[in-house]
Amino acid sequence: MNHYEFVKVELKDRVAIIEFNYIKKLNALSECFIQDILKALADLNVPEVRCVILRAPKGSKVFSSGHDISELPKAKRDPLPLSYQDPLRILTRTIQRYPKPVISMIEGSVWGGAFELIMSTDIVISSDKSTFAMTPVNLGVPYNVVGIHNLIRDAGLHVMKEVIFTATPITAEQALKIGILNHSVPDDELEAKTLAIARLICEKAPLAIEVIKEEMRVLCEANAINPDEFERIQGLRRYVYDSLDYSEGLTAFFEKRKPNFIGK
């Protein structure tokens, strides 16, 4: 369990803990980092493991800084990132279809694509000091349909519109109130609370949990979308990727300045 570069894996009885180890990039969801998480999840898909916890190192100020901006496409390209084969898409699908419950144990701030990542897990427990921000509009990025669905499925629509449209971080207290979190606890209680819930899950019937989790996933995704509307949305996304605003968003990010969006 020690043959990973960007994560560390620990087993505590029947609970597996995947600890992020990509500190130099604030656990940004780079392809190399995601590949290690996926490999760890595959290795842990054994009967001896009943529950998996995702966490950052103890004392982290940032749980994950979100999608690696350097891996976004340059302008004048079709929107490949955040599409079906993007590493983040593969990771969220893997977690949602994973046969064992996956718990997000949040210490530090959560940004952008990492917000969607935790919303794709089964249970979310955070420090009461954590914050959460969904930030694609800061960069001019037209987030994809599946990602938006993952974000709005479990929380109030009007509240999530404000979270996404303003990109303003919300507190753990706010996240708990709108249904993003299961629990928010002091830092010194976070690990014990998370392990207690994981160990309780481990005592239950694993085959029943696996089937019920899959039933919930199928029911939550039972939303038809008109093919014409889907193609129209994809066309709108391509238009945004070709826009001056998208180029400005990326340029401003790398120049560490506030972008000047003009709506073109």
3-state secondary structure of 54: strand
One of 113, 140, 147, 249 is an active-site residue; which one? 113
One of 22, 143, 241, 246 is an active-site residue; which one? 143
**Known catalytic membership, residue 158:** no
Helices 87-97 & 31-43 angle (0-180, nearest 10) = 20
* Pairs from 232-235 (Cβ < 8 Å, separation ≥ 24): 233/145, 234/79
**Known catalytic membership, residue 143:** yes
One of 67, 108, 147, 246 is an active-site residue; which one? 67
Q: Label the pairing between strands 183-185 and 123-127.
A: parallel
| Backbone phi, psi, residue 67, to 5° | -55, 135
**Known catalytic membership, residue 149:** no
Distant-in-sequence, close-in-space partners of 188: CB < 8 Å, separation ≥ 6: none
Q: Label the pairing between strands 170-171 and 131-133.
A: antiparallel
Q: What positions carry a catalytic annotation? A: 67, 113, 143
